Structure 1
Amino acid sequence: MSLQEKLEAVLSESSATFGVVVKHLETQEEAQINSNDYFQMASTFKVPILATLFRDVSEGRLSLEQRIRLTEDDLVPGSGVLQEFLPGAEVAVKDLAMLMIIVSDNLGTDKVLELVGTERVEAFMKELGLAHISIRNSCWELLSIGGGLGGEKKGLEGFHKLKQKFQTSGIDADSVIFQPIPENNVATPADMGKLLELIATGQLVSQEACDSILDIMKRQQLRNRIPYLLPDKTIIACKSGTIGSVVNDVGIVYLPEGKGAFTIAAFSHGNHSTKEGERMIARLTLTAYEHFAHSEE
């Protein structure tokens, strides 16, 4: 069976809608499913932000050593640890970026996004030829709109109000944020896959910048999707994302015995549970891993 057929067979067992692109970087063998459809990125949008940050650092616009003071006005609920810090903590830009990726820190993400500029992230994607990666909302905006509190002001009061909303009613499944349109934080699996390929092959900004991005992504601590079913020592650089029924993960998987590496961008919506989506992404990744690892030389 071809890789395409194998992935389609796995997905036939899911009632959710998936968009998947898998590509072996050395042989260029590729499989695509709904690859040109828009999907809500959820926290995978932090990869384009990270890419833009290192572009700005390489141009001297920002410094990774610069320290940013966090206040109550920066609080964002959801994933991460910085919301638990006492107000007044000063965190280096590199540490904000690290936490943004490895524990998907929403507060850290929004601080990095403030530094690089939302519009500049999308503009950089367009410069790279990735016209179908669209970023319009910060984590705060995404969560507040999705929670039915769009326009709620950031700060301690808004933070507690939004946290309470999530505890009682959660994300509105009919929210505008889930519409597959460029006015949201959306991407096609094809363009996200291309961004991963640029990073993996050292073609984004510089080899040094790519090495730094990969170093951060390889430290990922949320490992229940792309990495979950792979052999324990497999090297993986990835970033997951979840909001409502959206369950995503994107990354680069390094194969053993000189077999190269492959990119995978897996987006989905309509999952009955987060675990259901996670298991499907793990199975898709394992299918690709075994296909490439066992292919003939």
Structure 2
Amino acid sequence: MEKYMEWKEKIKKIISQSEGQVCVNFYDLDRKEGFSIDGDKKVLSASMIKLLIIAELMRQVSENKFSLSDKITVTEVMKTGGDGILKELESNHHFTIKELATLMIIVSDNEATNVLIDFLGMNNINQMAKNLGLKETYLGRKMMDTEARKNGYDNYTCANDISLLLKLIYQEKLINKEASQLILDILLKQQQGERLQRYLPSDIKIAHKCGDLNNLENNGGIIYLSNKTYILVVLTSGISNLKGKQTIGKISKFIYDKLGE
């Protein structure tokens, strides 16, 4: 634990070189210990909230409310801007719930996300956060809902909450073993990068989810090395998106290098 406290102080120095706010949670899954820096601080989640949505999705699947193979017709009225590919397709395609969940995670598809929020129920999703013991994670609006944002509704999380979600997935305790394995499999197919893996070797295996808004970059994941598995969550705000990605990358590279010593 002592060496991790040394790492924590060195990461604080990396953070001090950056403007804005940076929240960190590191957890060694083998030694079952770690540290956080402002890990309990409530921040805008951006697309990190989609981890909570897929957790609630799998809860309802586990209670046989529907099957992942059930299909939803995506209509014109469901069109949503921002990240994703559904907005570029013709309307009235039929997608399985698993396909929508996969798109929500691996390309952060906002249209798929909003379809699932309506399908699952926002209240149910927020109850899931409470049931999991998440402290600051809350879904206050759908994706790209600018009116809701103007009226003070938004989506929040903290680094410690994201770390807990990832820990439960890794330990196969998020809902159940089958649900955890399915979510992990989807996270491993993540298509968005340039953050945790920015300065790491290209063959490093990472199961992760990221999110961004103007001047905000978030990323959290399970990182698999040949001799070590760990969780790293870095949430940045108040700095340019490029510098946010670079800061996440620098902290990730620092941890990677230290574990390789």
SS in 2 for 1:133: coil
| Aligned counterpart for 2:242 among listed residues 268, 271, 275 | 275
Kept in 2: contact 1:3–1:31 (CA 8 A)? no
Residue 235 (structure 1) aligns with? 205
Between the aligned partners of 1:35 and 1:140, the Cα distance in structure 2 is: 26
Between the aligned partners of 2:143 and 2:224, the Cα distance in structure 1 is: 30
Between the aligned partners of 1:189 and 1:116, the Cα distance in structure 2 is: 25
Q: In angstroms, what is the RMSD of aligned CA positions?
A: 1.5
Kept in 2: contact 1:18–1:266 (CA 8 A)? yes
Residue 256 (structure 2) aligns with? 289
Please tell me whether residue 29 in structure 1 is matched to residue 26 in structure 2: no
Structure 2 gaps, min length 5: none
| Aligned counterpart for 2:155 among listed residues 185, 189, 203 | 185
1:74 Cα deviation (Å)? 0.2
| Aligned counterpart for 1:92 among listed residues 78, 96, 100 | 96
1:66 Cα deviation (Å)? 1.0
1:6 Cα deviation (Å)? 2.4
1:144 Cα deviation (Å)? 4.2
SS in 1 for 2:90: coil
1:263 Cα deviation (Å)? 1.1
SS in 1 for 2:222: strand
| Aligned counterpart for 2:141 among listed residues 123, 137, 140 | 137
Please tell me whether residue 223 in structure 1 is matched to residue 227 in structure 2: no
Paired AA for residue 5 in structure 1: E
Residue 5 (structure 1) aligns with? 9
1:191 Cα deviation (Å)? 1.6
| Residue-pair matches, total | 257
Kindly provide the CA deviation profile for residues 173-223 of structure 1, in whole angstroms up to 9, marking residues without a partner as x.
xxx45xxxxxx3111211221111111111111111111001001100111
Residue 266 (structure 1) aligns with? 234
Kindly provide the CA deviation profile for residues 126-184 of structure 1, in whole angstroms up to 9, marking residues without a partner as x.
1111132111111042x4444x5x6xxxxxxxxxxxxxxxxxxxxxxxxx45xxxxxx3
Kindly provide the CA deviation profile for residues 2-36 of structure 1, in whole angstroms up to 9, marking residues without a partner as x.
22122112112101201111111111231211111
Kindly provide the CA deviation profile for residues 236-257 of structure 1, in whole angstroms up to 9, marking residues without a partner as x.
011111112121111111122x
Structure 1 gaps, min length 5: 151-175, 178-183
